Amino acid sequence: MTRHVFAHARAVLPDRTLDGALVVVDDGRITDVAPVIPGAVPAGAVDLGGALLLPGIIDTHSDALEKEQRPRPTVEFEPGFAVLSFEGRVRAAGVTTTHHAVSYQTNADKDRTVERSLALAAAVRERAAAGVGLVDHRLLHRLDARDADALDALEDALAHQPHTTDVPPLVSYEDHTPGQGQYRNLDAYRSIIQRQEHLSAEDADRFIRHRIDERADGIPQRVRTLARLGQEARAGRIRLLAHDVESAEELAGVRAAGAPPSPSSPPPARRPAPHRTPGCRSSPVPPNVLRGGSHSGNVGAEALISEGLVDNLSSDYMPTALLAAALRLAERGVVPLHTAVALITSGAARTAGLTDRGALVPGLRADLLVVSVEGGRPTVRMSLLAEESRDGDGAPVSVARLLKPADAAASSR
């Protein structure tokens, strides 16, 4: 049996932060969390000297793999390399479980095609199946609700590339037509388009009108898409989420169609803060917290979090912001530290349907982070994936194992 013991940690537990904690890990599972007893620290324990000890971060929605593959418009790496490169970045940021968002849509503005998304999904599955990844790789299937071809592609992908993990695949229903959802604020959207496309105000208006007119015919398809996703969700074949829903009515429609949805961005600005609907989870993005507001004119995440309307933060485009955002919330007194950390750990686990991780609780996976804070900014000093602390020749080589004395490492093999 492989054992790791961490002593004198500032452990962030589900309901409090425990100073001077002792955390024990046996073969990839947490087996004990308790205060340190003076004079009774086990031999070989790692003294964390008051550093934070957290569960590994769970990211429920990350588009960043797309940018890793195509960092510039004229530069594209093969998908397998992009996955390897990206996993090193997110592991260094404390993410131990990541859901790569693969988009079933054709979007020239974001250089997205169904074919490119399927290639990235295949690379993610290949890395996950190898069992040697630095993180637990999973998928979030993002479906353009008004695109009939996208729905066909998703159904084909799920039928011929079955997901073999412990929960049904996550599928996110979304409609990014200008004038609703994420782009409800047309003034903000116009400003974004002008900057991105270097357009005049008049040309930006024409662009927006064309997008709205172009997609108007897709409303019946949106109804068919939601009905089909509802069938799959009720049958337990997918876990249905909703992305940037426009209104309480649309949210109710998604809930009625299948499973409780998880809006992955805050509701638009100038709308009263929503009442919590049972089973509904809101997932703003960390840059909203760090920047003090939304870049697209939507409501600030802090306001929703302070009212208890948010269950988890998901990275969207910047996974490195997850830990910093959680600690910033605690620093500003928006919520206590344990509540802020839950937004990127146990809350995210609930959104994804993962019951085996996300908290420093005996019996759960030992996905762990050791974090120091200097000048108000966190640094991940060490991370441990559960598989790395298990016995067996097939386990990946971990930092914890490499740091053992040579004689101890030899005796554990």
The per-residue DSSP string of 120-159 comes to HHHHHHHHHHHT--SSEEEEEEEEETT-HHHHHHHHHHHH
Q: Would you give the DSSP letter of residue 165?
A: S
Least confident of 17-31, 203-217, 266-280, 350-364: 266-280
Please tell me the predicted confidence (pLDDT) of residue 279.
41
Residue 68 resides in a domain: yes
- Mean pLDDT of all residues in the chain? 82
pLDDT of 278 above 80: no
Does residue 241 or residue 245 have the better pLDDT? Answer: 241
Please tell me the predicted confidence (pLDDT) of residue 394.
54
210 CB contacts (<8 Å, ≥6 apart)? none
Whether 61 and 179 share a structural domain = yes
Given a contact cutoff of 8 angstroms between Cβ atoms, the answer to whether 323 and 378 are in contact is yes
Q: What is the mean pLDDT of residues 163-190?
A: 68
Please tell me the predicted confidence (pLDDT) of residue 391.
65
CATH number at residue 85: 3.20.20.140
pLDDT of 80 above 90: yes
Grouping H, G, I as helix, E, B as strand and the rest as coil, residue 371 is strand
Residue 360 resides in a domain: no
Please tell me the predicted confidence (pLDDT) of residue 162.
60
Does residue 403 or residue 145 have the better pLDDT? Answer: 145
Q: What is the mean pLDDT of residues 381-402?
A: 72
Whether 221 and 248 share a structural domain = yes
Is the full-model pTM beyond 0.85? no
Whether 169 and 258 share a structural domain = yes
Please tell me the predicted confidence (pLDDT) of residue 266.
43
Whether 377 and 341 share a structural domain = no
Whether 50 and 62 share a structural domain = no
Please tell me the predicted confidence (pLDDT) of residue 393.
54
Residue range(s) defining the domain that contains residue 377: 3-54+365-412
- The structural domain count of the chain equals 2
CA–CA distance from 106 to each of 10, 116, 120, 142, 349 (Å)?
47, 10, 15, 12, 30
Beta bridge partners of 18: 11
pLDDT of 93 above 90: yes
> Among 349, 367, 354, which residue's Cα sits nearest to residue 29?
367
pLDDT of 116 above 80: yes
Q: What angle do CA 398, 61, 324 make, to 5 degrees?
A: 65
Q: How confident is the model at residue 254 (pLDDT cuts 50, 70, 90)?
A: confident
Q: What is the mean pLDDT of residues 74-84?
A: 95
Whether 96 and 19 share a structural domain = no
Whether 377 and 338 share a structural domain = no
- Long-range CB pairs of 379-385 (<8 Å, 24+ gap) are 380/92, 380/93, 380/94, 380/323, 381/51, 383/56, 383/91, 383/94, 383/96, 384/4, 384/25, 384/56, 385/56, 385/96, 385/134, 385/135, 385/136
pLDDT of 208 above 70: no
CATH number at residue 405: 2.30.40.10
